[in-house]
Amino acid sequence: MSFNQLGLSAELLAVIGAQGYTTPTPIQQQAIPAVLAGNDMMACAQTGTGKTAAFVLPILHRLMLNHDQAGRIPRDGVSPRVLVLVPTRELAVQVEQSVRDYGRNSRVRSLAVYGGARIGPQFQALRRGVDFLVATPGRLMDHMQQRTLDLRRIEVLILDEADRMLDMGFIHDIRSIVGRLPAKRQSLMFSATFSDEIRGLAREFLTTPKSIEVASRNATAANVTQVVIPVERDRKKELLLSLFENRGLNQVLVFTRTKHGADSLARYLDKAGIRSTAMHGEKTQSVRTKALADFKRGKLVALVATDVASRGIDIDDLPYVVNYDLPHVPEDYVHRIGRTGRAGASGEAISLVCADERIQLRDIERLLKRDLERRDIEGFETVLAPIAQRRAGPRPGTRPGARPGSRPTNRPNRVPGQWIKSGPAKAANDSVERGESARRENVRSTGTDGAPRSGAPARIARSPGRFGNARPQGRRFA
C-alpha cells in the first residue's frame, strides 16, 4: 500500500514524498482512513512506528478542506479546532513540529504550550488565532484558569501517550479539560501500551471507538537487541566508561532514576573525556532544548537523562540506549528502549543491573514475557542471585500460635554497645526510596513538564523535634 491510496490531499502527498516516505507504516495504514472517516479511535503501536503522523496527516487534511478561495482557514479568536494533550514538553515540541513540517503547504497555524516557558508569548500567539493546539495538561489548565483560551469549538481531541499521562497523575487535569470540550467531537487515544486502566479511560472519553492494535501489548521492537550486564552498584560508572572506551559507543542515551544521578553521571563522563550533559525536569526548557539539539547534531556523545526523555524524543538512527538504573515502573523500560530501533533501524539496549535491582528486572521480564540475555564483562563479573520465594506459614522462630508472616522472636544477639551495621544494599535502597519519594512529591507539586501545578498544596514547614525527628510547626502532639 502507498500513501496515494489513503485518501490524503495532493498537498500532503507532495510533502510526504519530499520527505522520502513512500509506504505508510502499519499503524498509519489503519489509523489514517479511520480518522478521515470521523471515527473515535484507540490505537496501540510500538514506539517509533509513526503514531504522530497517523493522526497529524488526516487531521491536517480535514483542516485544509475547510478554507476559502484564498486558502485561508476560518478562525475565531482564541478558539482552536484541534487539541492534542501530551505528557511532556519534549513531546509537545515534537508533535507541533510535525504539524509544521507536514502542513507547510497549508495555512494551518499550530502552537505548543507547556510549562517552563513564559505564558505571555503563548497568550499572544493564541490571540492571533491557532488551529492546532498541542499542550501539556498543567500549562493548559493555567490558560483555562486565566481565561486566555476558549475550548468550546474543539472538533478533535487527541490524547497522545495516554498511558504515560495516567502514570504521571494527570488524570484529574484531563477530566477537567475534557469537561470543557464540546460533547460532539472526535476523540482519539494513542498509546505505546494499553493497560486495563487505559482501556477504562477509553470507555470514559471515547464513543464506540475503533480499536487498532498493530503490536502485542507492551511489546518491544524486534530489531532492538536487549542485554543485561550484571555489575556491583559501586562499579557501574567504571563499567559504563569501559563500554565507551572499549566498544567505541557513540550517541548513547543513558537513563538514570534520579535527577541528581543524571547530573553526577554526566559530570563523571565529561571529566573522563566523553562529551556529555544531563537532561531532567529541573533544567529549564531552553537548556533541555539545546542539550537535545547538540545530541542530535553529534556534539555530544552521551545524553544522560531521567524518564523525562523516555517519551517524545525522536532521534534518527539512535544506536544505543543504556539503562544505568532500571526504572521502578516496568512499562517505562519499554518506552526507554523505544528511543532506539525506530523506523526499522537496528539498535541495542544495555541495562547495567546490580543485586538490589533484581525485583525491577524480574518485573520487566514478566512484562515482556521472556528472560533477557545476561552478558558478563571481563573484570566486572558478579552474580545476580535469584529472588527468594516467600514461603507460606510462619517464619522460623515465631512463637507458637503466631499468625503467618509475624516477626521471629529469636533475634540475633549482639555484644552490648556494638552497633549493627546496615549493608551497602540497604543504604542504596534507602537512597532510592528517598529519591523516589522526592520524585513523587515533585510530580504532585510541579508536574513532570516542570511547571507549577495549579492548586498544588504548599509544603508544611518542619522543625526538628526533641530527638531530631521532623514535625510540623504550630501543631501540638499529645
The answer on 228 and 207 residing in a single domain is no
| The pLDDT value given to residue 74 | 52
Q: What is the pLDDT of residue 219?
A: 56
Q: Is residue 419 part of a domain?
A: no
Residue 251 falls in which region: left (phi positive, over 0), alpha (psi -120 to 50) or beta: left
In this predicted structure, what is the pLDDT of residue 21? 84
Residue 12 is part of which domain span? Answer: 3-213
8 within a domain of the structure (yes/no):
yes
Answer yes or no: is 466 within a domain: no
In a domain, 460, yes or no: no
Same domain, 229 and 296: yes
Is residue 219 a part of any domain in this protein? no
Q: In the predicted model, what is the mean pLDDT of the chain? A: 79
For residues 26 and 164, membership in a common domain is answered with yes
Is residue 420 pLDDT above 80, yes or no? no
The whole-angstrom separation of Cα 1 and Cα 245 is 45
With respect to residue 150, please indicate whether it lies within any of the assigned structural domains: yes
pLDDT band of residue 218 (cuts 50, 70, 90) is: low
> ∠ CA(309), CA(313), CA(319), 5° rounding?
95
Q: What is the pLDDT of residue 342?
A: 67
Q: Are residues 249 and 344 in the same domain?
A: yes
DSSP conformation letters of 308-335: GGSSS---TT--EEEESS--SSHHHHHH
pTM recorded for the entire structure: 0.62
Q: Does 389 map to a domain?
A: no
Set of cell numbers at residue 13 = 502527498
User: In terms of DSSP bridges, do strands 156-160 and 110-113 run parallel, antiparallel, or are they unpaired?
Assistant: unpaired
Indicate whether 156 and 183 sit together in one domain: yes
Residue 193's domain is classified under what CATH number?
A: 3.40.50.300
Q: Coil, helix or strand for 137?
A: helix
In three-state secondary structure terms, 211 is strand
Residue 81 shares a structural domain with residue 158: yes
* Same-domain status, 182 and 276: no
Quick one: pLDDT at residue 73? 54
Contacts of 188 (CB under 8 A, 6+ apart): 35, 40, 41, 42, 43, 55, 156, 157, 158, 159
- State how far the Cα of 303 lies from the Cα of 285, in Å rounded to an integer: 15
Number of domains in the chain: 2
Q: Give the residue from 374, 394, 418 where a domain finishes.
A: 374
**How far apart are the C-alpha atoms of 354 and 372, rounded to whole Å?**
15
Shared domain check, 238 and 98: no
Summarised one tens digit per residue, pLDDT across range 361-400 is 999 999 888 999 999 998 898 878 777 654 444 544 444 4
401 located within any domain:
no
pLDDT at 404: 46
Residue 168: per-residue pLDDT: 82
pLDDT at 243: 93
Q: For the purposes of burial, counting CB atoms within 10 Å of the CB of 320, is it exposed (0-12), middle (13-18) or buried (19 or more)? A: buried
Among positive and negative, which fits the CA dihedral 401, 404, 405, 411?
Answer: positive
Question: Domain boundary residue among 347, 374, 401?
Answer: 374
Q: What is the pLDDT of residues 104-152, one digit of tens each?
A: 888 899 999 998 888 889 989 998 889 999 999 999 999 999 988 889 8
Same domain, 93 and 194: yes
pLDDT for the residue 405? 46
Check whether residue 232 and residue 101 sit in a common domain.
no
pLDDT, one tens digit per residue, over 53-109 is: 999 999 999 998 875 444 455 555 558 999 999 998 888 988 999 999 999 888 899
Q: How far apart are CA 201 and CA 175, in angstroms?
A: 10
Q: Are residues 57 and 163 in the same domain?
A: yes
| SS3 (DSSP) at 158 | strand
